[in-house]
A and B are shown apart, each in its own frame.
Chain A
Amino acid sequence: MKHRYYIVLVLAFVFHVQASLGQKVNDTINIPEFVVTANRSIRNIDNVPGRVTVIDAKAIQELPVQNVDELLRNIAGVYVNRSWGIFSQNSSVTMRGIDASARVLVLVDGVPLNKSAGGSINWHLISVNNIERIEVIKGPASAIYGNNAMAGVINIITKNPKKAIQGEVGLLASSYNSFGGSFNLSGTNVKKNKGFSWSINSFYRQGDGYILEPEEARDSTDVKANLMEYNISGKLAYKFNKRHKIEIGVQNYDDLRGQGRKVYEEYGDYMSVNITYFRTSYQGMINKTVLNAHIFYQIENEYKQSESISTNSGKYKLSDRESRKDDYGLWFNATTYFSDNNILTYGIDLKQGKADVTNTYITSTDVLIYSGILDFYGVFVQDELKLLNDKLNLVVGARFDYAKYYKGQLIVENPTSNTGFVTPFDEDFINSKWNSFSPKIALKYKFNKSNSAYISYSKGFMPPKLDDLSKSGKINKGFKLANPELGPEYISNYEIGFNFIFFKKLSVEPSIYYSLGKDFQYFVGTGDSVDTGGDELKPVFQRRNISDVEIIGVELSANYYLLKNLNISANYTYNQSTIKEFTKPETYDKDITGNFLIEVPKHMVNVGFGWKNKYFNTTVSYNYISSQWYDDENTIEISEYDIIDLQLSREFAKNFYVSVNIQNILDNEYVDRKGLLSPGRFITGEIKFKF
């Protein structure tokens, strides 16, 4: 038994989680899956005491999506907010009743993408065509991942070549005069576990866009929010033998996205992002220890031009913002298989985040420059025990994180009322540091091959963002003051879940969780006011750790494999996320205790239908999102909406793949939190040639 397990482990490692391991067969659902994210090395999903969802290559090809994040809409507990479709500046992916995408850790091939400056990731960086599978770990995972893994972890695993040379060329055309293309070329000469693998991927997309403002609110400055983007990436791997492998990945993404407003400038209000991403990964095995090491470097250069004219006063404003955000680090972890029943995972993570931002007000003299550095250090250990003849899986782990903020600086040159500073300002902020302890204990009991239950306690945290630590300046409702002493926020999660499989065809997965958040970061008035040049003194706001929240959630997922080529899936999510305690600053006049968290829908429903036949593979997806609050005071509500998406696809002559993808097929109109319109029905036709 012990040897059999060891052989399986080595095989799994050698093949590096090939797609076949993660795929389900069509008509039954009792084949176990392997995941790499739950414990930072490969595990049978049946042994993971927590809620894990996998989207495999087949689903990725068949789901009616345009962007990677939209694949996650079909997972219970995940809320994807991409209200302008492909024209969205970015997407917000949140989980488990907690708003803000910075509270979800996103990895690509095990390497973190979350930026220290703003906390979130740019979802456009990843092309749908280059994904092998996505693993989603729900609930806090800071005990093993640290930063940002507060509501969950999403790991996007890219494709690896299987042939000596293979490739794919695709062309697509969509609504709003959008079109694009993709290109993939890869190959491998690995023989007897030795040799190179490589791949080059690229995609391009552009579109005229549509007018975001509802018709009744439009003026002469409203124009279409257009898009132009490209992505090129390359991967080179060398396998020394069946136990050691090194991989280098490089990527560059560039876009220009209009914001739907133009006064005088050629491109009007727009944002352009260029991201360069580099990683080197090593995977090795020494005796019974599996090693994983990643060195990564992400550089994001962003340029934003803002242009507006007031309909009341006629005042014209033009400004730009240039920023450079760097994140680099080293992640190392090892997993030692002491025995079939005792697996120890341990590691150390180092990361540094830097931000340098210059905001130039072109229609006035102000120049605002801020910068800062955040260092993170984390160590963790986790033990997995199999007890009662593998019926009981126990996971106990903990992680200690230490972070340091330094070289924080704010410079304001030639200020006017635009920035809210009355005199030039040049100040170095105080250094600050904090630490976090994140324990986890989880237990899974397998009643039989088909049915199991788990119970877990885990803690998660989100660090303060460099933007909140270093940035001061005028904002819409007043003046934002940097808070270099802002600390992390924490969440403790208690969860129970069950996995049932009935008649080998129907799987049902209910989960219930109760989370208590502490020291949540909220934007509140300090009670001070500053003269920003208007008639009135403006209130000063600052991000502070001042509220505790409570989340009660239920998730229910079901998959029914009706026939060999026909399956139905459905899931429902309920979240009641409220502010339990609000430490109101003395001079702040609003108490939001008892209010709901913003941008958390109370109810979400997803129903999916997949039918493979000799004419067209058909996938239909229905999503319902209930109403949600826009503001902390709970005075502005974003209306509920539902959409139905459809994809029809077919392969011809082995080499050709044709698909028609219709998002929001009923053309339901809904608006985002700013009152801006969704694109409505969006049709895409795509043809691919594979070789």
Chain B
Amino acid sequence: MHGLTYRLKMKKLFPIIILLITAIWACEKEKTDYPPPTIEFITESGFVFNDTTIELGKDFKIGVKASNPNVNLTNFIIKVESDVLETYLDSGMNTPNLHFERNITKGIKEFEKWIFIIRDKDGKSSEISLNISKDSASVFGNIKYYANIEMGAQNSFVGHFYSLSEDSVHTLNSAFSNQSKIDLCYYYDFIDTDENTIASPGANIDASVYTGPSALANWTTRRTTRFKLASISESDFLNAANDSLLIATHGSSDGNRKAKNLQAGKIFAFKNEDGKIGLFKVNSITGTGAGTIDISIKIQE
């Protein structure tokens, strides 16, 4: 009798178990196989969209449109192929459409193949490319040399800001009055990876660095200069007589808005908002928040 009751109770249980198993399986999702994204050049006036020849150091504008209505675009890559293949841009996103425009400086290479790749979230990709050749009539330009510029960190009495166009050091108040001319600023950050930093006013600089009514947050014009660590020697820097080394060192890609963790002997390539390419070399650094930095600069005329 006990066994029969038990079997009857067990019988009632089976539908529940089957229901649970079915519910778990039902959660499986189907995946659709969508076509890859599309990508094309912007063909409006002022854009380069076919193979062309450009003078050394001159800017040209490229525009690209990409889309995928089914799967969001997640990665846009620009590669430049000359004697080696280099990545110019590798950018993440999460959007159905991309509209990209960029002014690019013609590098020192005789021939460059610019490749534009768009990838979507499914990992599918499409690419387009164009060839840029160096104009054989190109000549290297003259440069200016500013030696031993002394700038002070945020707590120093020495000015913290520098104007490349005027070769002049400014205090915070003076820089505030000359915002449209300021390209560089120097400060000390107590974060290990930053410490001695030369940035551009357009960079994201902590509000505690420069304070008061002339603080960066109150500026109406904040110019952006971008920096890239250079792997050239001090003698290469000193021997540079025209802008060939400057262009070659800077390359085609953009840099960051801060040159961090500066130490004596380090050299950075930069490009300011006027498109002038240059190099700066750190000669010496003393102190921290109230310290100073001594740099030398070579920049296109």
Any A CB within 8 A of the CB of B260: yes
Given contacts A362-B121, A365-B75, A535-B228, contact A317 B92 (CB under 8 A): yes
Q: Which of A200, A202, A363 contacts B74 (CB 8 A)?
A: A363
In chain B between 216 and 241, which residues have their CB closer than 8 angstroms to a CB of chain A?
A: 227-229
User: Is B20 engaged at the interface, CB distance under 8 Å to the other chain?
Assistant: yes
Residue of B nearest to A417 (CB): B90
Q: Which of A164, A265, A362, A535 is close to B260, meaning CB atoms less than 8 Å apart?
A: A535
* Docked-complex contact A164 and B92, CB < 8 angstroms: no
Chain A 313-333 interface 0/1 with B at a Cβ cutoff of 8 Å (1 = within): 101111000000000000000
Residue B163 lies at the interface, judged by CB distance under 8 Å to chain A: no
Among the listed B93, B121, B259, which residue makes an inter-chain contact with A316, where contact means beta carbons less than 8 Å apart? B93
**Do residues A264 and B94 form an inter-chain contact, with CB atoms below 8 A?**
yes
What is the interface of chain A mostly: helix, strand, loop, or mixed? loop
Q: Are A189 and B2 in contact (CB under 8 A)?
A: yes
Contact between B90 and A364, CB atoms less than 8 A apart? yes
CA distance A265 to B74 in the complex (A): 11
CA distance A127 to B204 in the complex (A): 48
Task: Determine whether the beta carbon of A362 is less than 8 Å from that of B75.
Answer: yes
B6 contacts A364, C-beta separation under 8 Å: no
B112 CB to closest chain A CB (Å) equals 20
In the assembled complex, the CB of B195 is this many whole angstroms from the nearest CB of chain A, namely 11
Q: Whole-angstrom distance between the alpha carbons of A307 and B227 in the complex?
A: 27
The digit string for B228-265, where 1 denotes a CB below 8 A from any CB of A, is: 11000000000000000000000000011001110000
Query: Which of the residues A232, A312, A317, A362 comes within 8 Å of B204, measured between beta carbons?
Result: A312
A164-B5, A316-B93, A318-B74 known; A365 vs B260 contact (CB < 8 Å): no
Find A232's partner among B3, B9, B20, B259 (CB 8 Å cutoff).
Answer: B20
Q: Which residue of B lies closest to A362 (CB)?
A: B74
Contacts of A191 in B (CB 8 A): 2
Q: Per-residue CB proximity of A180-202 to B under 8 Å, as 1/0? A: 00000101010100000000101
B24 within 8 A of A: yes
Chain B residues in 8 Å Cβ range of A360 = 123
Chain A positions 236-254 with a Cβ under 8 Å from a chain B Cβ: 252
Contact A535 B87 (CB under 8 A): no
**Interface size range on A against B:** 20 to 34
Please report the C-alpha to C-alpha distance between residue A81 and residue B10 in the assembled complex, in whole angstroms: 42
Contact A416 B6 (CB under 8 A): no
Taken together as a complex, chains A and B put the C-alpha atoms of A318 and B91 apart, in Å, by: 11
Q: How far is the CB of A202 from chain B (nearest CB, A)?
A: 7
The answer, yes or no, to whether A165 is at the interface (CB within 8 Å) is: yes
B72 contacts partner chain A, Cβ-Cβ < 8 Å: yes
Instruction: Please judge, given known A-B contacts A165-B9, A416-B87, whether A263 and B17 are in contact too, CB under 8 Å.
Output: no
Contact (Cβ within 8 A) B93 A363: yes
Nearest CB in chain B: distance from A653 CB, A? 23
Cβ-defined contact, B6 with A187, below 8 A: yes
Q: Which of A200, A362, A364, A536 contacts B261 (CB 8 A)?
A: A536
Question: Is B193 among interface residues, defined by CB-CB distance under 8 A?
Answer: yes
Q: Indicate whether A185 sits within 8 Å of B13 (C-beta atoms), given known contacts A264-B94, A318-B74, A416-B90.
A: yes
CA–CA, A165 and B9, complex, Å:
8
CA distance A164 to B5 in the complex (A): 9
Bound-complex Cα distance A187 to B12 (A): 13
Contact of B193 among A252, A263, A417, A536 (CB under 8 A): A536
Report chain A residues within 8 Å CB of B3.
Answer: 189
A–B complex contacts, Cβ < 8 Å, 16 sampled: A164-B5, A189-B2, A200-B17, A232-B24, A263-B94, A312-B204, A313-B204, A316-B93, A317-B92, A318-B92, A318-B121, A362-B74, A364-B90, A364-B92, A365-B77, A416-B87
Not counting A164-B6, A536-B261, a sample of 11 additional A-B residue pairs whose C-beta atoms are within 8 angstroms of each other reads A164-B2, A164-B5, A187-B6, A232-B20, A264-B94, A311-B204, A312-B204, A362-B92, A364-B77, A365-B119, A535-B261
B-binding residues in A (CB < 8 A): 164-165, 185, 187, 189, 191, 200, 202, 232, 252, 263-265, 307, 311-313, 315-318, 360, 362-365, 416-417, 535-536
B residues lining the A interface (CB < 8 Å): 2-3, 5-6, 9-10, 13, 17, 20, 24, 72, 74-75, 77, 87, 90-95, 119, 121, 123, 193, 204, 227-229, 255-256, 259-261
- Which 9 residue pairs are nearest across A and B when measured between Cβ atoms? A363-B92, A264-B94, A316-B92, A312-B204, A535-B229, A362-B74, A363-B74, A363-B75, A165-B9
